[in-house]
């Protein structure tokens, strides 16, 4: 996205050069036209007298034989060649339709997760945004209409209605549009509201449409149909329960994620299950991992984030210089993040994980090796059997919905090719602050952990017995404002046999 921003800046400069060249060309043509306008006006007053002068006769011949040809060449000269060539080269890096649709869905995802109304998004006044009002982007009527169309194409009539209503509102307030009118918007609105079961509002929108365009064929047909359906309901004497049922049909479409509401509440910082009594047992401390030689004199700061399961945060664990180096190494390799299909085991992209990631091996740069060693020193776990350091970037709307880091019993082959057992623990390093959104939330226990640059959180995914701890189900909330960089280390079972011993009880 940053590269695209600079690409657009280069194209604007190229466009300005083209405009300057075009203006220069038009200025030459205008001077020629003005000069000949004066000359021909005087000559046609007395053609014979004018042509009686031999110089005038010669110059007329010369102009028509030579100079008009030169003017023709000037007019036909295409000064846009450089701009068109530059545009053609850069176009191969432009976003495509899928990218634009993805960005539209991201806005709707943020709208739902953080309970933002369309007016707030349209004016750009998002919570946490530090942009000055003069630099804040707003959504035009056309933008709102396009968002509504994306929702409509997905049969998401709930969001279609919200964005078409916003587009209509901005039109009613006097905003102009060159591509869409109220009739088109009302047509979408009428149908999307009908699909949600609200016949009365569908009828109202249809009537308003017909006031603007009485000949609209589809609206005239819908008008009769909606009136017939409403009359049918009245004859049947619709009960209050039936009306309540209709009301319940409205709202967001059915969801594949049963814990959606809980997840989104935690993303907003609501629904936390930490009681004051439990909170009083959480501490911060200087930590040296049982007098580890590296940290006896300079222990690190450690904070308890949660008690059951235990989640701790290490502060100032990586320097700004180290984090910038990790980002620099990862950027050229960032690719759309994938998940392992639980049925096939094949890596594939998924709509519930929107981010870009790259993998860095310890051998690639001393800074990666140092970070790996630091993780081993502080956790006491062997990282030689761990996965490479994964660096992930979540842009606006980037997220990873609730998931487990470890392989469950129904995924016996999840990490078989690695030969290092299951993921025993997760180390998550935050490499940027996030202006709004972007929390890591644990849906089962009701916990939210917020990004703080230079800090890392750590938790065990497995009990000492090797059984998965289902309380560690977690998610990366959508980034509302800002940019989220993280790197994570998944530590595996092999090599930990004498570092994290099994208990004497099978239930441990």
**Domain with 379 in it:** 263-492
Among the candidates 222, 249, 276, a domain finishes at 249
My answer on whether 290 and 382 are in the same domain is yes
* Strand-strand pairing, 300-306 and 311-315: antiparallel
How many domains in the chain? 3
Whether residues 408 and 331 share a domain: the answer is yes
* 268 and 199 belong to one structural domain: no
Same domain, 58 and 105: no
Bridge partners of 492, per DSSP, are 423
Whole-prediction pTM value? 0.85
Same-domain check for residues 350 and 318? yes
Domain boundary among 52, 67, 91: 91
Residues 33 and 155 grouped into a single domain: no
pLDDT at 327: 97
Q: How far is CA 147 from CA 82, 151, 193, in A?
A: 34, 6, 16
With a CB cutoff of 8 Å and minimum separation 6, the contacts of 198 are 246, 250
User: What does the alpha-carbon distance between residue 375 and residue 380 come to, in Å, rounded to a whole number?
Assistant: 8
In a domain, 461, yes or no: yes
pLDDT value of residue 342: 65
Q: Is residue 349 part of a domain?
A: yes
CATH number at residue 428: 2.60.120.620
pLDDT of residue 133: 63
Q: What is the DSSP secondary structure assignment for residue 271, as one 8-state letter?
A: S
Per-block mean pLDDT, blocks of 10 residues, the chain (508 long):
90 95 95 92 89 88 91 91 91 91 92 95 86 74 96 95 97 94 97 94 96 95 93 72 49 80 96 94 96 94 97 97 97 85 70 88 96 97 97 89 92 85 97 95 97 98 94 96 95 95 79
Q: Are residues 22 and 55 in the same domain?
A: yes
* Residues 183, 231 within the same domain: yes
| Torsion over CA: 66, 68, 71, 76 (sign) | negative
Q: Does 498 map to a domain?
A: no
Whether residues 330 and 231 fall in one domain: no
429: number of Cβ within 10 Å:
26
Of 64, 91, 118, which marks where a domain is finished? 91
CATH number where 134 lies: 1.25.40.10
Is residue 508 situated within a structural domain? no
Please check whether residues 352 and 473 belong to one and the same domain: yes
In a domain, 256, yes or no: no
Contact 371, 454 (CB under 8 A): no
Residue 505 falls within a domain, yes or no?
no
CB 401 within 8 A of CB 342: no
* 390 in any annotated domain: yes
Position 165 in a domain? yes
Phi then psi for residue 341, to 5 deg, are: -60, 120
* Residues 73, 10 within the same domain: yes
Residue 247: the pLDDT is: 45
Same domain, residue pair 228 and 357:
no
- What distances in angstroms separate CA 432 from CA 60, 91, 323, 336, one per listed residue? 74, 31, 9, 19
Question: 223 - beta bridge partners?
Answer: none
Cα atoms in the Cβ-side hemisphere of radius 13 Å centred on 452:
13
């Amino acid at each position: 996205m940053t590269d695209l921003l600079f690409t657009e800046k280069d194209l604007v400069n190229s466009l300005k050069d083209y405009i300057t060249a075009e203006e220069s060309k038009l200025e030459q043509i205008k001077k020629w036209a003005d000069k000949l306008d004066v000359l021909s006006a005087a000559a046609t007053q007395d053609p014979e007298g004018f042509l009686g002068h031999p110089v005038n006769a010669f110059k007329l011949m010369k102009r028509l034989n030579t100079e008009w040809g030169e003017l023709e060449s000037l007019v036909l000269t295409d000064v846009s060649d450089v701009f068109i060539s530059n545009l053609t080269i850069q176009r191969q890096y432009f976003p495509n339709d899928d990218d634009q649709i993805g960005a539209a869905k991201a806005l709707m995802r943020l709208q739902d997760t953080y309970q933002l109304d369309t007016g707030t998004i349209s004016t750009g006044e998002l919570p946490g945004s530090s942009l000055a009002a003069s630099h804040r982007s707003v959504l035009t009527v056309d933008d709102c209409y396009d968002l509504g169309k994306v929702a409509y194409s997905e049969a998401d009539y709930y969001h279609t209605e919200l964005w078409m209503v916003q587009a209509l509102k901005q039109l009613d307030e006097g905003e102009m549009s060159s591509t869409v009118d109220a009739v088109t918007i009302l047509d979408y609105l009428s149908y999307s509201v009908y699909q949600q079961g609200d016949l009365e509002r569908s009828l109202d929108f249809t009537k308003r449409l017909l006031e603007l365009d009485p000949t609209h064929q589809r609206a005239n047909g819908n008008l009769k149909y909606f009136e017939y359906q409403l009359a049918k309901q009245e004859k049947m004497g619709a009960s209050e329960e039936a009306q309540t049922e209709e009301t319940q049909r409205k709202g967001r479409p059915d969801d594949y994620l049963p814990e959606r509401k809980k997840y989104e509440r935690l993303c907003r910082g609501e629904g936390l299950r930490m009681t004051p009594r439990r909170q009083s047992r959480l501490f911060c401390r200087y930590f040296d991992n049982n007098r580890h030689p590296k940290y006896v004199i300079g222990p690190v700061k450690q904070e308890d984030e949660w008690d059951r399961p235990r989640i701790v945060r290490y502060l100032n664990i990586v320097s700004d210089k180290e984090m910038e180096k990790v980002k620099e190494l990862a950027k050229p390799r960032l690719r759309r993040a994938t998940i392992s299909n639980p049925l096939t085991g094949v890596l594939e992209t998924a709509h519930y994980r929107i981010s870009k990631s790259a993998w860095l091996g310890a051998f690639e740069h001393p800074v990666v090796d140092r970070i790996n060693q630091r993780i081993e020193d502080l956790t006491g776990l062997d990282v030689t059997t761990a996965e490479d350091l994964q660096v992930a970037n979540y842009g606006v709307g980037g997220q990873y919905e609730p998931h487990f880091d470890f392989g469950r019993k129904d995924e016996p082959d999840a990490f078989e090719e690695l030969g290092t057992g299951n993921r025993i623990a997760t180390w998550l390093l935050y490499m940027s602050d996030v202006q709004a959104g972007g929390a890591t939330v644990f849906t089962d226990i009701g916990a939210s952990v917020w990004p703080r640059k230079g800090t890392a959180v750590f938790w065990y995914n497995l009990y000492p017995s090797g059984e998965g701890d289902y309380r560690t189900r977690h998610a990366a909330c959508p980034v509302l404002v800002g940019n989220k960089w993280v790197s994570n280390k998944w530590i595996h079972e092999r090599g930990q046999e004498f570092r994290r011993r099994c208990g004497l009880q099978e239930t441990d």
